[in-house]
Amino acid sequence: MPKAADNLPLRPPDEPREPTPAPAWLALIAAWAGLVMFIASLVFVFLPGTRHPRAELEHTSPYSIADRFLPALMYGTPLAMCLGIIVLWQMRKLPRPLPQPMLMQRIQAWTGVVLALLGAIIIYIDIGVRR
């Protein structure tokens, strides 16, 4: 019967196995989520903002449409970028050149990240201009 002391000194872990790429549907969802967030940020620019911010904070008047729509953008945009980054991160150690399906997934992931980033830029610029 081996004792716990027989396992010392600790040995390094085995060589890492080939990384498992993210599923294909994740890249597809990343691209669509980025597109949805980009379109939603363009819609946000045209939503009416608050007229009485103090009354909204004191809960004497209802929140404006833009204020109700903003949390969906503030949480959805980083989520869309995160989905694309997960796909790209899983591909980082795969042997090159990548097969054609993996190249298409990489393009979808980059598309989702870039569209979500453009959406975030639009949101922050619009909020900065509205003050």
- The contacts of residue 37 (CB under 8 Å, 6+ apart) are 73, 76, 77, 80, 115, 116, 119, 120
Give yes or no for residue 67 having a pLDDT over 60: yes
> How does pLDDT run across 37-59, given as a tens digit for each residue?
999 999 999 988 777 778 777 77
User: Which of 3-12, 20-29, 52-61 is predicted with the least confidence, judged by mean pLDDT?
Assistant: 3-12
| pLDDT computed for residue 4 by the predictor | 59
- Number of C-beta neighbours around residue 85 at 10 A: 17
